[in-house]
Amino acid sequence: MIIAVDGPTASGKGTIARALAAHFGLPHLDTGLLYRAVGKQTVLNGGNPDDPLDAARAVDFPDSLLDDPDLRSETSGALASRVSVHKEVRAALLERQRAFAAQPGGAVLDGRDIGTVIAPDADVKLFVTASVAARADRRYAESLSRGHEVTLEDIRADLAARDERDRNRAEAPLVEAVDAILLDNSDLDANASVAESIRLVEEAL
Ligand code: C5P
């Protein structure tokens, strides 16, 4: 069973994907982390994240980089969004994600293009979204709890910029798959959002 969970930044798709994986006993891949690692490795190499060749060279990042807590920062998210526009980067990460999805028992993957590009035949596709205001408030609270110094205005501006870039890029833009189930959790807290996602997936199976 493959469950695809897509949606914009700070929609809660990561929390939902982890909870679905635990509920159904499936392995989970946070694909955003791969793009974050590529972004960080590009900078570590002294490269320019907007240069396709520099970014593509960074797909060989060491696996240990995936454990770096800095990958969760806003800076790493913004870098990920910049390297993820390059088709060379997306192509290099494609097989890794498809192989994960093809595990015998199935898997849960979350990202932007799981239901459209990585696993178009997924058994269930969820598209998780929420208003910009709700997502900015969540990301702000999360950043403060991680000890990052940020302002709500900066978070809002960054969210809007990333939404714009993710939705309008030529390669695998963030778009709802035609057969995806929409979950707008603007008015739900994390627990209610997880419960609703489990209900929707069970209903769809
Ligand atoms: O989900 P997360 O916020 O960690 O993703 C960081 C960035 O990586 C996104 O803004 C997006 O540009 C990119 N990404 C992507 N495709 C995915 C997952 C993430 O382009 N499947």
Q: Please state, in angstroms and as integers, the Cα–Cα distance from residue 169 to each residue in 13, 66, 128, 175, following that order.
A: 21, 25, 20, 11
Q: Mean pLDDT throughout 44-65?
A: 98
ipTM: 0.98
> For residues 143 and 152, what is the distance between their CA atoms, to the nearest angstrom?
10
159 lines ligand 1 (CB under 6 A): no
136-172 pLDDT, tens digit per residue, is: 999 999 889 988 889 999 999 989 998 998 999 999 8
87 is in an annotated binding site: no
Strands 2-6 and 181-184: unpaired
The DSSP secondary-structure symbol of 28 reads E
Q: Mean pLDDT throughout 172-187?
A: 95
Q: Ligand 1 centroid vs 56 CA: distance in angstroms?
A: 16
Do 80 and 39 touch, CB atoms closer than 8 A? yes
Domains of the chain as residue ranges with CATH: 2-200 (3.40.50.300)
The DSSP secondary-structure symbol of 183 reads E
Question: What token pair was written down for 130?
Answer: 């929420």
Q: Mean pLDDT throughout 12-20?
A: 97
25-36 pLDDT, tens digit per residue, is: 999 999 999 999
Full-model pTM:
0.94
Q: Which of 28, 81, 85, 139 to mutate to test the pocket of ligand 1 (most atoms within 8 A of CB)?
A: 81
Q: Whose CA is nearest to atom 2 of ligand 1?
A: 32
Q: What residues pair up with 127 in beta bridges, in sequence order?
A: 6, 182
In which residue are the tokens 């058994």 written?
A: 123
**Residue 6 CA, closest ligand 1 atom number:** 21
Do 31 and 89 touch, CB atoms closer than 8 A? no
11 lines ligand 1 (CB under 6 A): no
In terms of C-beta density within 10 A (0-12 exposed, 13-18 middle, 19 or more buried), how is residue 18 classed?
Answer: middle
15 is in an annotated binding site: yes
89 lines ligand 1 (CB under 6 A): no
**What pLDDT score does 197 carry?**
98
- At 74, the pLDDT band (50, 70, 90 cuts) reads confident
Q: Ligand 1 centroid vs 162 CA: distance in angstroms?
A: 9
Position 27: which residue type?
P
12 is in an annotated binding site: yes
Question: What token pair was written down for 120?
Answer: 């178009």
Q: Ligand 1 centroid vs 30 CA: distance in angstroms?
A: 9
Q: Ligand 1 centroid vs 8 CA: distance in angstroms?
A: 8
Q: Mean pLDDT throughout 93-100?
A: 97
Averaged confidence pLDDT in the chain: 95
40 is in an annotated binding site: no
Sign of CA dihedral 137, 18, 125, 114: positive
Q: Mean pLDDT throughout 36-58?
A: 98
Q: Mean pLDDT throughout 174-178?
A: 93
- At 73, the pLDDT band (50, 70, 90 cuts) reads confident
Q: Whose CA is nearest to atom 20 of ligand 1?
A: 84
> For residues 171 and 101, what is the distance between their CA atoms, to the nearest angstrom?
20
Identify the CA nearest to 74 among candidates 153, 167, 175: 153
106 is in an annotated binding site: no
